[in-house]
Amino acid sequence: MMKIKVVYGVDMRLWKKYADDQAKPDDATFTDLLAYIRETFSFAANHEFRVTFKDDDDEFTTIASVEDLRDAFALCQQQDKKSLKLHVVNTAKVAPKSNNSQ
């Protein structure tokens, strides 16, 4: 069984929904992952974030679809890793603070 570690800042959680490392992730798995991230890190429904993983070039690659998630799983399996570490990156736009000091 491949462990799925989800990291946001200094917090790491273990996603236990996906347990069969022989099957390919499907659309429901990708949707479940996004829902798990929103719930476990207490994100609002409209909170903007992206999910990344380290690819075989040791660069962070965005997972934006079920196909990307399948690629991440396949890479881990090819490298005979026991876990896949997914990084959650906050992409919410923060309004600049106004400088109203007079």
The predicted pLDDT at position 39 comes to 94
The predicted pLDDT at position 16 comes to 80
DSSP designation for 93: P
3-state secondary structure of 37: helix
The predicted pLDDT at position 26 comes to 76
Alpha-carbon distance of 31 to 26, in angstroms, equals 9
Per-residue pLDDT of the chain (102 residues; tens, 9 = 90+): 678 999 999 999 999 876 554 566 777 788 999 999 999 999 988 889 999 999 999 999 999 999 999 999 899 989 999 899 999 999 877 655 655 554
3-state secondary structure of 83: strand
The predicted pLDDT at position 92 comes to 74
The predicted pLDDT at position 100 comes to 57
The predicted pLDDT at position 7 comes to 97
pTM of the model: 0.81
Residue in this structure with the two tokens 């273990």, named with its chain if needed: 14
The predicted pLDDT at position 99 comes to 59
Two structure tokens written together for 1: 């069984």
Measured at the CA of 72, the angle between CA 69 and CA 73, to 5 degrees, comes to 90
The predicted pLDDT at position 36 comes to 93
Distances in Å between the Cα of 72 and the Cα atoms of 28, 66, 98 are 16, 10, 41
